[in-house]
Amino acid sequence: MTARLVLLGPPGAGKGTQAARLADELGIPAISTGDIFRANIKGGTELGKKVQAITASGALVPDELTNDLVRDRLAQDDAAEGFLLDGYPRNVAQVAALDEILGDRPLDLAVEITADPTVVVERLLKRAEIEGREDDTEDVIRHRLDVYAEQTAPISAVYGERGLLVQVDGIGDVDDVTARLLTAIGTAAR
Ligand code: AMP
């Protein structure tokens, strides 16, 4: 199968960790809009300056900026045979933008990692201690979860209606979750 995939799930569900593992296993690039924003902020680029305060608050970066960034990234050679998007699309308008970007080579599957909100808050607070991410303070985490519930969670239903959604339990051992994800992707591809 070609593998044009999006990985969905709340902040703290383990998307970043699992995206890297799946990408390795499937031989496709993992593309994280959050990572791209963080790299730009660190590098002090124009884009970084525009998005720093927004990402630090836990709000979403404006769609035009994010959609353009994804359009450029998906046009690169390494994404020609497939990709795994992590953290995009993040609202229903971005779903439509991605449809337009992909044109006649649409998505194969949307894989959602599910996790209980209390578990994800704990995980994110732990990550804050380890990685020191600016948006991992308790207030900002709660705001990011609200943004997720209001703007991002509805995406699952959109892909569900298209018959493209698979859901995988994200609680448990990291290796077990990877195995579950690979099984779900493999089964859906058949
Ligand atoms: P993440 O690493 O995916 O949790 O993203 C970190 C932050 O980057 C988010 O809280 C947003 O501020 C911003 N961001 C990442 N992806 C998107 C997106 N698809 N649309 C808008 N903002 C985004």
Q: Which of 1, 62, 3, 61 lies closest to 29, judged by CA?
A: 3
Pairing of strands 30-32, 3-8: unpaired
Cα–ligand 1 centroid distance for 190 (angstroms): 32
Looking at residue 117, what is its pLDDT?
78
Looking at residue 97, what is its pLDDT?
98
How sure is the predictor about 121, in pLDDT bands with cuts at 50, 70 and 90? confident
Looking at residue 134, what is its pLDDT?
82
User: Other C-beta atoms within 10 Å of 12: how many?
Assistant: 25
Q: Which atom of ligand 1 is nearest to the CA of 59?
A: 12
If residue 51 lies in a helix (H) or strand (E), which one and from where to where? helix 46-57
Complete domains list, the chain, with CATH: 4-189 (3.40.50.300)
pLDDT in tens, 104-118: 999 999 999 999 878
Secondary structure of residue 17 in the 3-state scheme: helix
Looking at residue 190, what is its pLDDT?
59
First to last CA, the chain: 9
Q: What is the mean pLDDT of residues 11-31?
A: 95
Looking at residue 1, what is its pLDDT?
54
| Mutational pocket test of ligand 1: of 51, 90, 94, the residue with most ligand atoms within 8 Å of the beta carbon | 90
Dihedral pair phi/psi, residue 167, rounded to 5°: -115, 140
Looking at residue 2, what is its pLDDT?
65
Positions annotated as catalytic residues are 15, 90, 127, 133, 144
pLDDT in tens, 131-178: 888 888 889 999 999 999 999 999 999 999 999 999 999 999 999 999
